[in-house]
Structure 1
Amino acid sequence: MSENPQVQPILDRIETREHELAAQAEQLRARIEELAQQLRETDAETENLRITRKTLLALPMPSPAAEPEAPDIPVHPAYQQILTALADAGRPMRARDLCQALDLPILPKNTEGIRSKLKRLVSRGILAETEPGLFARPDA
């Protein structure tokens, strides 16, 4: 090296700066490797999502779910009158109460006839017997 005393401090500063730049370059290389790894992971996840989308689009469409069939209400008008009376009342009723609501005389034959119709509506899922002898619409 040069024996010139004026040049030595400059050479020392250059060497210090070279070490600083080498350290900085090493840090940047490490950061580049870290970013490259993150990029590979992101690319892999993106590819997985693309494959998932492609697979889902290739699946056949499910057939539409069939609407549950409404229970068959018997044709006789008495059943419609019973259902209307229950809807108007908005509360569970007994056969005797329905006889009164339908303006039928409170006689055993009438209450038993209404009770049997109520039981038939319960068996078809149109009405519910909330407790023995007490009938209501399932949605009420």
Structure 2
Amino acid sequence: MAVPLYFYRGGVEVGVMVSLLEELQAREAAARQHVEELQAEAAELALRLERARADLSRLEITRETVTQVLAELSAAAAEGDAAAGEVPEPDATPAPHGIGVMTVPPWREGLVVAVLPDVYRDIVEIVADAPGPLQAKQIVPRIGLPTTSGKIEGTRGKLKRLVERGWLDEDNPGRFTLARRGPGRDQPNSW
């Protein structure tokens, strides 16, 4: 349907026949194209964000692993020196943050969960309060993290470290419970 459209050019009224449906279709096509372009940009940004989160998670895990290895090497060296009868001289300069410090100490009788770093303590408390075994993907939202693959993998690494150090058990692969410590010891150490 053509509709006459009047406008003024140079003080003279000019009439043009314009198809209203054609104009609406042209505007709709332009809007659709704009939406598709924005969706493509959003998808690209979401992909870049996920990659950046995965990189961050890998770096966090790497730092924690390196800290753990350095602490274990430092402890082994100190034990070797003590066994040889040597007393290491105190270092006048403090070690950089995290180096030479074991972030998750091995569990032993009398050790309380309060000695753990905050996120590890939160994980142990969540597992202790659970009615059954938990998976990393169930723990991640409970400690306030987004449920991305990077955060799940980072939490799984922390759970494995807690198992290695005797705080948790992993009876079935990927399913974590509070560690059982000897016969008749159903309760965790004191909180």
Q: TM-score w.r.t. structure 1 length?
A: 0.46
Relative to its length, the structure with more helix (as a share) is 1
Q: TM-score, normalised by structure 2?
A: 0.34
Rg (Cα) greater in structure: 1
